[in-house]
Chain A
Amino acid sequence: MAYSTNLKIELIDTGAQAGTWGTTTNTNLGTALEQAIVGSVNIAFSSADVTLTLNNSNAAQDARALRLNLTGTSGGARNLYLGSGCQINKLYIVNNGLADAVTVQNYITGSPSGTSVSVPAGKTMLVYNTSANIVDAVTHLTSLTLGSALAATSGGTGNSSYTVGDILYASTTTALSTLAGVATGNALISGGVGAAPSYGKIGLTTHVNGTLPSANGGTGLTSFTSGGAVYATSTSALTTGTLPVASGGTGQTTLTANNVLLGNGTSAIQSVAPGTSGNLLTSNGTTWQSTALTATTVSNAYAGLTAGNVGTVMMGKWSGTSGTIAFGDTVSGSALTPANAAGDSSGSAQSGTWRCLGFADGDAKSGQDAKVTLWIRTI
């Protein structure tokens, strides 16, 4: 007798089985084909692998059934081998009712052969035997609708709806949760290792690392000189410390009381101490110093005066025609002309403001010489 290659259907030779072919045909249809199309068999495990075989017989055979319902005790991960006669093209529905995963694989001449598919415990899979390899029967679906959200443990999210702005995060080792959006400007902040994140404001003292550079509006500094200034050392850098002369400062951190400050180019300013009481601030032609007033100092000062400068002492005639000018009074220079003790005047009216160092009488009856006295130009 001959049998079909895959399902082992008995093939009746032409003219054969006269009077009995009906029985054979009924077995082919009612047993073998029905089992292959809709049949489901229990495959019992007893803490060991199971090997199925398929023989040339149209009698019911487990390896021909569409659905293999794995039952019993696994006692660990097991194998369901498709052994002798099972290297055919055939679809299986494998329902793993065991406590452990079961790997479906061909088994040829005493060894596992070809690729395999592992059916997780409690799961049902469609697998296909290509005669050499066991593969997933379905690897692509044009569309798929699930009755409930695909769990995170299966690569889904476990969520079926969202609010706009939600983000997902792992709330447990096997679940994703949503974090709802908050007001504009908040940032997503880590809750730490193993903790949920949250939205909030960035804490400048706790959440910021690094120093904001000047190019980004910061200072580029992490500490400052106490009492110092922050100033630009270039077009792109700030520093802290005593403000130098080049930046409009003094370059000094202390200034001695009552000292006079002296310029020193771009170097720190210098100072001159008051020195001895009565000293003058004098130039030596290069810088300034505190020196005692000497006859030389005074004579040099007078030597530098032009007659008529402030400080000029003059015997002058007051032009007033009444009243008097007392010692210490001031008059306009336009009222004074150089004069002698006889009351004669010569030259032009004077410039500036003059202080009387004597006494002048404007009364006509007192005589012209009464208008002449000593004056000093003060302004």
Chain B
Amino acid sequence: MKTVDDVKDMRYTTESGDSIDCMVKFADISDYVPFGATPYDPEDYGRQIYTDCRNGVYGPVAPYTPPGIPVVEIT
């Protein structure tokens, strides 16, 4: 089980709320790393991070923002 020191920059990436994009500081890694937290992560610590984020352990999670319509250059 990996030890989590901190989680920041949390935001939902799905409208259903089952995926949270965040930056996680693990005890055995010097820097924050990008991390996708989901309730269906096969890794225990991943599910725990998701639960903690949902419970506000690390502060509020930014709401989901729908992706904009990509602008395609017409040639």
Residue with the greatest number of chain A CB neighbours at <10 A, chosen from B36, B50, B72: B36
Q: How far is the CA of A336 from the CA of B36 in the complex (A)?
A: 9
Complex contacts, A352 vs chain B, CB 8 Å: 35-36, 41, 43, 46
Complex contacts, A334 vs chain B, CB 8 Å: 13-14, 19-21, 36-38
Least CB separation from A364: chain B residue: B70
Which residues of A328-346 have CB atoms within 8 Å of chain B's CB atoms? 330-336
Contact size range, A: 20 to 34
Complex contacts, A140 vs chain B, CB 8 Å: none
Contact of B18 among A309, A330, A333, A348 (CB under 8 A): A348
Least CB separation from A351: chain B residue: B41
Known A-B contacts A349-B13, A352-B43, A379-B33; A321 and B68 likewise in contact (beta carbons under 8 Å): yes
Q: Is the CB of B35 within 8 A of A309?
A: no
Least CB separation from B12: chain A residue: A334
Least CB separation from B29: chain A residue: A379
Q: How far is the CA of A308 from the CA of B19 in the complex (A)?
A: 14
Q: How far is the CA of A307 from the CA of B40 in the complex (A)?
A: 11
Nearest CB of B to A121, in Å? 103
> Is B34's CB within 8 Å of the partner chain A?
yes
The 10 closest A-B pairs by CB, nearest first: A333-B36, A351-B41, A334-B36, A332-B34, A334-B21, A364-B70, A349-B19, A334-B13, A351-B38, A306-B42
Complex contacts, A365 vs chain B, CB 8 Å: 72-73
Q: How far is the CA of A165 from the CA of B58 in the complex (A)?
A: 76
Q: Is the CB of B70 within 8 A of A321?
A: yes
Contact with A along B1-27 (1 / 0, CB 8 A): 010000000000110001111101010
> Is A310's CB within 8 Å of the partner chain B?
yes
Q: Is the CB of B43 within 8 A of A309?
A: yes
Q: How far is the CA of A306 from the CA of B46 in the complex (A)?
A: 14
Q: Is the CB of B35 within 8 A of A333?
A: yes
Q: How far is the CA of A6 from the CA of B64 in the complex (A)?
A: 144
Q: Is the CB of A353 within 8 A of B41?
A: no
Number of A-B contacts (CB under 8 A): 81
Q: Is the CB of A349 within 8 A of B36?
A: yes
> Is A27's CB within 8 Å of the partner chain B?
no
- Interface set of B (CB-CB < 8 Å, partner A): 2, 13-14, 18-22, 24, 26, 29, 33-38, 40-43, 46, 50, 67-68, 70-73
Q: How far is the CA of A335 from the CA of B36 in the complex (A)?
A: 8
Which residues of A221-243 have CB atoms within 8 Å of chain B's CB atoms? none
Offer 19 A-B interface pairs, CB within 8 angstroms, sorted by A: A308-B43, A310-B43, A321-B70, A331-B34, A332-B21, A332-B34, A332-B36, A334-B21, A348-B19, A349-B13, A349-B36, A351-B41, A351-B42, A351-B43, A352-B46, A364-B71, A364-B73, A365-B73, A379-B33
Q: Is the CB of A308 within 8 A of B13?
A: no
Complex contacts, B26 vs chain A, CB 8 Å: 379
Nearest CB of A to B70, in Å? 4
> Is A350's CB within 8 Å of the partner chain B?
yes
Q: How far is the CA of A332 from the CA of B21 in the complex (A)?
A: 6
Nearest CB of B to A329, in Å? 10
Contact of A335 among B13, B29, B50, B71 (CB under 8 A): B13
Contact of A309 among B19, B20, B33, B42 (CB under 8 A): B42
Nearest CB of A to B6, in Å? 15
Known A-B contacts A351-B38, A353-B36, A365-B72; A332 and B43 likewise in contact (beta carbons under 8 Å): no
Known A-B contacts A309-B43, A364-B72, A379-B26; A353 and B35 likewise in contact (beta carbons under 8 Å): yes
Q: Is the CB of A349 within 8 A of B37?
A: no
Q: How far is the CA of A311 from the CA of B72 in the complex (A)?
A: 36
Q: How far is the CA of A353 from the CA of B14 in the complex (A)?
A: 17
Besides A332-B22, A350-B38, A351-B41, 13 other CB < 8 A contacts? A307-B42, A310-B43, A319-B13, A319-B67, A332-B34, A333-B36, A335-B13, A335-B21, A348-B40, A349-B38, A351-B42, A351-B50, A364-B71
